[in-house]
Chain A
Amino acid sequence: MMQEPTTVAVSLLLLAPLMAGGLSLLIHTSSWLHLVNLASMGLLVMADVQIARTVLAHGSVTAFGEMIYVDALSSVILFIIATVGLACSLYMRSYMDEQVARGVIAPTRLNLFFFLFHMFLLAMVAATVANSLGVQWVAIEATTLATTFLIAFWRRRESLEAGWKYLILCSVGISLALFGVVLMYYSSLHILGDVSSALNITHLQQIAAQLDPHILKLAFVFIFVGYGTKVGLAPMHSWLPDAYTEAPAPVAAMLAGVLETVAVYAILRSRSIVDQAVSPEFSGNLLALFGLGSFAIAALFMLLQHNYKRLLAYSSIEHMGLAMVGFGVGGAIGVFGGLFHLVNHAFAKSLAFFAAGNIHRRYNTVEIDQVRGLATVLPGSALALMVAGLALAALPPFALFASEIQIMTALGTSGLPGAWGHPGVGGPIVLMLLCNLIAFAGFLSRITGMVWGSAPHTVSHGETWSGGHLSLLFLGLLLAGLCWVLPMPLRQLLETAATLLANR
């Protein structure tokens, strides 16, 4: 069923970043670039709201001859893209202008930055709304290509190194995912026999139970490892800390908040098909074990960090691992907790990177030891960093506390899936709590050390209000608010998405 406003909304969703990207190449004044950027983000948010309303009313939306498929799960992801994207656009207004004023980037390169940023957004939106798993793969590879120059945008030696590492590791990882997609197609062709639609999610979901389990198992392993590289699950995470450290702050916020989420979405999509043919324990085990492993490794590495951006990067790996445990354990609570965790992590991590960007600009260093007395130097950013830090350490009253408790509850009640754990076996949960404690201590001690203390005399004190602070305020309030009140539409979306994925 297709209504006029929804078709418009879907085309707007794809056209807004595309047009904005094209326009950015033609415009040369900074204020116009920001205006185009904000206008396109505004359109994106409006289109997103319209689609979410239709999805809530009708369950799912298909458009353009089944090229586009949006259900509750993709709506949740679109919500994250739109919210973080909007906050990012607001933040970029002050951030990019200051970088130009300081001569870090030439004014002529500013439009290239915006072009790549919009292409990045376009690729992520396309990956989320694509009906065909093949098109989804193409879009996710396109995100790699669009972001590699964004990561290396400062053109320093370190950033070139980080960009190359990112390009090679993610391209290789994602090639493995393509092999998985080919295998998926191989199995579905036998049932469907139709060449053009055999990769469409809408078709695959109907016939998933008849697909060959051997092929699907192999396919899922390849898809999981491939997209898992993009999520940054250990041991495929080595590109991630470098890329997040070297990328400009708004790009790092988008990478950490949104791109990881989109990659998780791609895994969940394939999983919902594989689980119907293979016992859900197979994929559940894979997700939960890799999740636990990433969580533990990231927690330990966080203790070693002396660079605050790397610290945030490892915290990303940790939280993605945690969300994976939620999805792997499954059940209504586990999946809901995992999805909610993705939403909260996106907000908290982008807030943290915005604050880190402000700190970096003032102190000109990424070393934790050299940043002292933030509370007097940059009161606003110090508050933002504290809020993000407390939220990422999963303390109440922030929303990550709620989602982490949900995931812990799921793990505690049902244990790991399959032969690995029976209900009541406490090994995984003890490991999890222990690593949580390590991460908590390591993370908060670094953050508090930065906020208090006496400031070095070389940095100037005081912070003037700018448009960028609006996004800090927005995300901070959102994080605190979501812990207490989950607005009805969002809650419905999350619950519907959780029922789509719940399988135990």
Chain B
Amino acid sequence: MSWLTPHIGSQLVDLGSAMLLLTCFAIVAQRRLSACVDLFAWQSLFLAMTAGLVAFLTGTRHIYLAAVLTVVVKVVVIPHVLRRAIERLNVTRELVMNINVPASLLICGALVMIAFFITQPIMSFGHLLTRDSLAIALAIVLIGFFTMIARQKAVTQMIAFLVMENGLFLGATSATYGMPLIVELGVLFDVLVAALIAGIYTNRLQDAFDSVDTSRLSELKE
């Protein structure tokens, strides 16, 4: 394919990474739990597409496998588990937020700038194709971290963890054209098990506390 010059390829990878970042902001702004899960599924799909693009442009075969597994695990299985968990809950929205939506979005914007600032000195080491993606990956990790602090529902916290994981996966694919296959498989397995465990936990929390609001988890204090 002659039209796919490295320049266009690099633009496309940047576009994919930017879409991931955009869905991150959407998750931060979204109050409905089920919509958050949908957004996470979309983000994972963008991730798989970006990974597939990198695999195609660089001819690295094993990234294809990682991309397919991402679709299976993060677009199909995990969202399904989370939706099932939400169906059992009596609350479908984040009612009380520690930090409201506009302030959250502003903070996330600042986090993106911090991520670019931190990675500036080491970006020149990267491959030409995916140079900016490392900064975007770090930004996604930081936003996931922030969401975890700012939101209270167990499901949202789990989604935030999965978003962080997506950011890490983007970092690994873009900066290094994928980690060794055994590591990638292991990481995906861990993420899958973590999501399953979280699904079981939300059920038990619901039974024990009659809520999945983690602010109710306050019996253990100094």
Residues of A within 8 A of B (CB): 132, 134-135, 137-138, 141-142, 145, 148-149, 152, 155-158, 160-165, 167-168, 171-172, 175-176, 178-179, 182-183, 185-187, 189-190, 195-199, 212, 214-215, 218, 241-242, 245-246, 301, 304
Contact = CB atoms under 8 A, between A and B. Distances in A.
Contacts of A149: 197
Nearest to B220: A242
A304 B165 contact: no
Most B Cβ at <10 Å: residue of A161, A182, A218: A182
Given A145-B194, A182-B171, A187-B125, A135 B201 contact: no
Nearest to A200: B180
Interface string B13-48: 000000000000000000000000000000000000
Given A134-B183, A167-B201, A195 B209 contact: no
B122 A212 contact: yes
Contacts of B165: 175
Given A157-B209, A185-B172, 4 more contacts: A152-B204, A168-B148, A241-B220, A246-B220
A160 B187 contact: no
Nearest to B214: A164
Interface in B119-160: 121-122, 125-126, 134, 138, 141, 144-145, 148, 154, 157
A241 B221 CA distance: 10
Contacts of B177: 195
Contacts of B219: 157-158, 161
Nearest to B141: A179
A152 B205 CA distance: 11
A160 B220 contact: no
A500 B193 CA distance: 36
Contacts of A189: 176
Given A164-B201, A175-B168, A179-B141, A186 B176 contact: yes
A290 B108 CA distance: 28
A58 to B, nearest CB: 26
Interface in B156-193: 157, 161, 164-165, 168, 171-172, 175-183, 186-187, 189-190, 193
Q: Classify the secondary structure of A's interface with B.
A: helix
B89 interface: no
B165 to A, nearest CB: 6
Contact of B118 (A148, A158, A218): A218
B111 to A, nearest CB: 14
A164 B154 contact: yes
A215 B171 contact: no
B87 interface: no
Given A155-B204, A195-B178, A172 B194 contact: no
A242 B219 CA distance: 10
A172 B161 contact: yes
The 10 A-B pairs of least Cβ separation, nearest first, read: A134-B183, A138-B186, A161-B217, A242-B220, A141-B190, A175-B164, A186-B175, A182-B172, A157-B208, A215-B122
A186 B125 contact: yes
A195 B220 contact: no
B105 interface: no
B141 A175 contact: yes
B77 interface: no
Contacts of B205: 160, 164
B194 A167 contact: yes
Contact of A171 (B122, B125, B141, B194): B194
A182 B175 contact: yes
B69 interface: no
Nearest to B149: A172
Nearest to A156: B208
Contacts of B144: 175
Interface string B211-222: 000100101101
A162 B217 CA distance: 9
B190 to A, nearest CB: 5
A316 to B, nearest CB: 16
Contacts of A245: 220
A157 to B, nearest CB: 5
Nearest to B126: A186
B201 A138 contact: no
A185 B173 CA distance: 11
A168 B155 CA distance: 11
B183 A301 contact: no
B17 to A, nearest CB: 15
B220 A162 contact: yes
A182 B220 CA distance: 35
Contact of B148 (A132, A160, A172, A195): A172
Contact of A185 (B126, B179, B187, B222): B179
